[in-house]
Amino acid sequence: MKRVAGLILAAGKSERMGSPKPLLRIYGRTFLEHIASEAQQSNLTEVKIVLGFRAELILERLPQLRQYVIINPKYEKGQLSSLISGLKTLEGASLDGVMPFLVDHPFVNRQLINQLVDSFSNHDNPIVTPTYRKKRGHPLIFGDELFPELLNAPVDQGAQVVVRKYQDKILHVETDEAGILLDIDTPKAYQEYVLNRRTLNGD
């Protein structure tokens, strides 16, 4: 099996939400605890967490995660800056790929992670993405051959620059996990999909 590290990107300001997204709750624990726990119990080689805005507050609430944390002092530059911070920390780890988790996409579980790692291990595609009813979601896997491009991509444009460049080489892995499409970045989305447990079908 290929060696894939998980990077949980949780450094942003959460401006649209109005409070730190890593500390919102799902399944009886915070978003950050849930993603970290599922990632750590999966087939990922290692898991790191990238914090920035309100990092000390988050670590005061979740001190057990401190050992996994990387601080991104440039978090205001966007998500890609956090991915770059994580990749730089992982340099020399002999990895085949990296799986970035977005903290506002909390509906992940170890079964999904393992499905993606298995697919990545059995194919040579540089990017793997889960799909639900043929729609792309998160988390993705980037192969190590793309690390230099991610490290040098324009921070204001994000990793999507690299995704678009390799559009025809992406491996799509169909799942039955509708949650891969859900972005919980506003109070309304949190109320609907987390507190009220609304599904994508409106059930």
Under a CB-based contact definition with an 8 Å cutoff, are residues 190 and 198 in contact?
A: no
Q: Please, what's the largest Cα pairwise distance for the chain?
A: 47
Q: pLDDT, tens digit, for every residue of 44-88?
A: 999 999 999 999 999 999 999 999 999 999 999 999 999 999 999
User: Strands 46-51 and 69-71: what pairing?
Assistant: parallel
Residue ranges of domains in the chain? 4-195
38: part of which helix (H) or strand (E)? helix 31-40
- At 179-199, the pLDDT tens digits run 999 999 999 999 998 887 776
Cα separation, 103 vs 119, in Å, equals 23
CATH 3.40.50.10240 matches 4-195: no
pTM: 0.95
CA distances from 15 to 11, 18, 187, 202 (A): 12, 5, 11, 27
Strands 46-51 and 135-136: unpaired
